[in-house]
Amino acid sequence: MSTFTSPAGAAKGIGSARNKNQEKSGKRAPESRADGQSGDSTVDSGTGLPVLGWPTGRTDRYIGKAGAEIMLQMLVEHGVTDAFGYPGGAILPTFDQLYKKQINFILVRHEQGAGHMADGYARATGKPGIVIVTSGPGATNTVTPLATAYMDSIPMIVFSGQVRTYMIGNDAFQEADVTGITRPVTKRNYLVKNVHDLPRIINEAFIIATTGRPGPVLIDLPVDVTTSRVEQAIDDTPYLPGYKLYRTGHSRMIKQAMEVINRAERPVLYVGGGAILSDAWKEVRDLAATANIPCTTTLLGVGAFDEHDPRSLHMLGMHGSAYANYAVQESDCLIAVGARFDDRVTGNLKLFAPKAKIIHVDIDPSSISKNVKVDVPVVGDAKLCLAEMIELAEAKPRQAWFEQIASWKRQFPFSYRNDSELPKPQAIIETINQVTEGKAYFTTGVGQHQMWVAQFIRWRFPRSMITSGGLGTMGYGLPAAIGAQVGRPNDLVIDIDGDASYIMTAMELATIRQFNLPVKVAILNNRFQGMVRQWQQLFYGGRFSNSEMVNPDFAAMAESFGIRGMRCGRKEDVRKTVEAMIQHPGPCVVDFLCETAENVYPMVPSGKGLHEMELGLLASAPPNSGRELGSLA
């Protein structure tokens, strides 16, 4: 039976892994940023630019080594313990180095899987995910994972093989303009033309991927760069004159923000994935507690605030809770933390939070006033900014506001009617929530099941939700679960997937088998692309064009990979099946046959304001479920 690492222990990845590694290599260890404000040792006090925490400069330590050897050596020095990928001609020199097994390498079945695994690994651990693939199709298959990671600001580094430098541009075998193709979906990408540049570029890549607003970086490695040797002393100091890093917030802005917050009668905290990326959940909790503010989270922000806390409003947005959406629309002060006012959160922008002064804490200046005009911007790391804001917070009772929220919560809990012959997908998720008590890493695909997972798991731990938010990548769940399991080998990892999402990347079952990873998969099988079906039912006159799926027997399919497969189609079997799945020591796939004609509610139709959401059965009759979760308050 798996255990679950406490959130405080989770996600110190970047600092702790590096420390551990430097003890080994005898280098000066940087202080972990999780230690608090002294974490500024990762930043040069003069230039404000990030530093690696160990000396760089002109050095002869690379002399005589080939590019592939340098690459592996540097990965180890940067604290990399695991990587994902697939070999091929142009990357074979690097794979020859991997033969030494300095790092744990997960061989995948498709490069897209490698990318999502690295992404899931990064989200579960806080360490950058590493991908190593070949040129041409190997590299282009990572485009979807790169775009997924870029949208959700996930640190990831992809090393792709490339044809020899003198053949680039000649339409050589397995050649593609990979830097050209990936430029719009990477924070930075490189084509290394000379092995002498490689150490500097790898150092830069780790800084860019993991600092500021994190994101994916791609390094394209021609065969002759990985095979040729360094012949002279070279400088491996990162050169990033255009890289601006905001850490602490501007004191005047913080003061101004807190003046607005302390004056507010109906404030709402709106917390996004940035709070998780910056390990700021403690500060979010403390600000909500100290200043007495209710808190809602985005899809990527769930887990940043304990949903058992009475101040929790759960998720907001298109399929968020009615009480979170009403609270945002009624609030006089909206405090966004590491969130970007995505259209799935705001609904119609013209109608969004009309009465609110908007405070936006974000590390990326280009997020400020991009969609919604911000009144008080605080540019900086959420953890550091919130810590300063808490100092100025005044406790206010705000009794009327909390009473109003409590009444919305009583009136409009997440709910469904468990009245169909087949189990309802929400009931299965509720059961998983009860059995696990939320102590697991949950991954999802994209669609109805993803929204129900967000609604019916009671999120308590940062990083426990691993899902493709911005790009909405179907097929993300299974490989992301593999990545999370590699990063958290002793914890329970469950992919709660839809049948259509699952089968997009189901070949990675072979990876699970090969590396004996105890990933659990719960497929909510409604034989449809559920969200597409919902939209077709609601907005396209019930014309279910190409959304119905004829699926294999998922249990038998898993068994054919050598993985325990189970099937459950009766309500009374759900609980014992979930328990059997979680108690099974190895990997396990459960095919839950569930009700097809079930829609996700609440729902804000596109173009409508958040308060104009459709409530589903809440609008007509009192809910007869959701009560297993108590009042959700």
Partner 1 sequence: MRHVITALVMNEPGVLAHVANMFSARGFNIDSLVVGRTEDPQLSRMTIVVVADDRTLDQVRKQLAKIVTVVKVRDYRDTPFVSRDLMLVKLSASPRTRSEIIELASLFRGHVLDVGHNSLTVELSGEEDKLDAFIDLVRPYGIRELARTGMIAMARGGHAMSLVGEDGDGTSASAPSGTVPPLAQAGGRPVRAAAGRMPTQEELEATPPG
Place of tokens 């002399």: 63
Q: Residue 446 in contact with residue 476, Cβ under 8 Å?
A: yes
Nearest CB to partner 1, comparing residues 379 and 521: 379
Only segment of 374-382, 399-407, 444-452, 473-481 that touches partner 1 (CB under 8 A): 374-382
Residue 529 has phi, psi (to 5 degrees) of: -80, 95
Q: Report helix, strand or coil for 106.
A: strand
Question: Which ranges of 39-91 does DSSP label H, i.e. alpha helix?
Answer: 67-77
Separation CA 189–CA 19 (nearest Å): 27
Selection from 587, 592, 590 nearest residue 485 by Cα: 587
Q: Check binding of 364 to partner 1 (CB under 8 A).
A: yes
Report the residue from 234, 253, 277, 387 that binds partner 1 according to the rule CB under 8 A: 253
Place of tokens 């034989």: 527
Report the residue from 208, 363, 481, 512 that binds partner 1 according to the rule CB under 8 A: 208
Only segment of 19-27, 46-54, 80-88, 165-173 that touches partner 1 (CB under 8 A): 46-54
Only segment of 70-78, 236-244, 490-498, 580-588 that touches partner 1 (CB under 8 A): 236-244
Q: Check binding of 286 to partner 1 (CB under 8 A).
A: no
Nearest CB to partner 1, comparing residues 183 and 229: 183
Q: Check binding of 368 to partner 1 (CB under 8 A).
A: yes
Only segment of 96-104, 154-162, 370-378, 445-453 that touches partner 1 (CB under 8 A): 370-378
What is the DSSP track for 141-156? Answer: TTHHHHHHHHHHT--E
Kindly provide the residue ranges of all beta strands, DSSP E only, lying in 306-356, ordered along the sequence: 312-315, 333-337
Report the residue from 28, 100, 252, 350 that binds partner 1 according to the rule CB under 8 A: 252
Kindly give the pairing relationship between strand 357-362 and strand 441-444.
unpaired
Site for partner 1 in 530-589 (CB under 8 A): none
Q: Check binding of 365 to partner 1 (CB under 8 A).
A: yes
Q: Check binding of 255 to partner 1 (CB under 8 A).
A: no
Q: Check binding of 243 to partner 1 (CB under 8 A).
A: yes
Q: What angle do CA 474, 479, 484 make, to 5 degrees?
A: 120
Report the residue from 65, 250, 571, 608 that binds partner 1 according to the rule CB under 8 A: 250
Nearest CB to partner 1, comparing residues 90 and 368: 368
Nearest CB to partner 1, comparing residues 376 and 465: 376
Nearest CB to partner 1, comparing residues 217 and 288: 217
Nearest CB to partner 1, comparing residues 208 and 509: 208
Applying CB under 8 A, the site for partner 1 has a residue count of 40
Q: Check binding of 188 to partner 1 (CB under 8 A).
A: yes
Site string for partner 1, 430-469 (x = CB under 8 A): ----------------------------------------
Report the residue from 108, 122, 376, 492 that binds partner 1 according to the rule CB under 8 A: 376
Nearest CB to partner 1, comparing residues 66 and 178: 178
- The distance of closest approach from Cβ of residue 317 to partner 1 in the complex, given in angstroms and rounded to an integer, is 23
Helices and strands counted in the chain (H then E): 25, 20
Report the residue from 172, 240, 390, 580 that binds partner 1 according to the rule CB under 8 A: 240
Only segment of 87-95, 97-105, 180-188, 266-274 that touches partner 1 (CB under 8 A): 180-188
Report the residue from 30, 67, 317, 377 that binds partner 1 according to the rule CB under 8 A: 377
Only segment of 163-171, 364-372, 430-438, 564-572 that touches partner 1 (CB under 8 A): 364-372
Q: Residue 222 in contact with residue 338, Cβ under 8 Å?
A: no
Residue 136 makes CB contacts below 8 A (sequence gap 6+) with: 88, 90, 173, 174, 175, 176
- CA 390 vs. chain centroid, Å, equals 26
Q: Check binding of 46 to partner 1 (CB under 8 A).
A: yes
Only segment of 27-35, 87-95, 185-193, 222-230 that touches partner 1 (CB under 8 A): 185-193
Nearest CB to partner 1, comparing residues 66 and 154: 154
Separation CA 476–CA 450 (nearest Å): 11
Residue 573 makes CB contacts below 8 A (sequence gap 6+) with: none
Q: What angle do CA 116, 564, 451 make, to 5 degrees?
A: 45
Kindly state the helix (H) or strand (E) to which residue 258 belongs, with its residue range.
helix 251-263
Report the residue from 96, 343, 375, 614 that binds partner 1 according to the rule CB under 8 A: 375
- The distance of closest approach from Cβ of residue 209 to partner 1 in the complex, given in angstroms and rounded to an integer, is 11
Separation CA 310–CA 462 (nearest Å): 18
Nearest CB to partner 1, comparing residues 240 and 617: 240
Q: Check binding of 183 to partner 1 (CB under 8 A).
A: yes
- The distance of closest approach from Cβ of residue 366 to partner 1 in the complex, given in angstroms and rounded to an integer, is 4
What is the DSSP track for 521-568? Answer: EEEEE-SB-HHHHHHHHHHSTT--TT-B-----HHHHHHHTTSEEEEE
Nearest CB to partner 1, comparing residues 204 and 598: 204
Bridge partners of residue 216, in order along the sequence: 156
Nearest CB to partner 1, comparing residues 185 and 504: 185
Separation CA 607–CA 278 (nearest Å): 32
Q: Residue 468 in contact with residue 446, Cβ under 8 Å?
A: yes
Report the residue from 5, 16, 21, 256 that binds partner 1 according to the rule CB under 8 A: 256
Question: Which ranges of 561-626 does DSSP label H, i.e. alpha helix?
Answer: 574-583, 617-620
Separation CA 427–CA 593 (nearest Å): 12
Nearest CB to partner 1, comparing residues 198 and 521: 198
Q: 259: which 2 tokens?
A: 């003046």
Site string for partner 1, 596-615 (x = CB under 8 A): --------------------
Q: Check binding of 336 to partner 1 (CB under 8 A).
A: no
Separation CA 581–CA 590 (nearest Å): 7
Separation CA 303–CA 102 (nearest Å): 34
- The distance of closest approach from Cβ of residue 502 to partner 1 in the complex, given in angstroms and rounded to an integer, is 31
- The distance of closest approach from Cβ of residue 380 to partner 1 in the complex, given in angstroms and rounded to an integer, is 8
Place of tokens 């899987």: 113
Report the residue from 165, 369, 418, 551 that binds partner 1 according to the rule CB under 8 A: 369
Residue 524 has phi, psi (to 5 degrees) of: -90, 95
Report the residue from 26, 57, 242, 542 that binds partner 1 according to the rule CB under 8 A: 242
Kindly state the helix (H) or strand (E) to which residue 593 belongs, with its residue range.
strand 588-593
Q: Residue 249 in contact with residue 189, Cβ under 8 Å?
A: no
- Residues of this chain that interact with partner 1 (CB under 8 A) are 45-48, 179-180, 183-184, 187-189, 191, 208, 240-244, 246-253, 256, 364-366, 368-370, 373-379
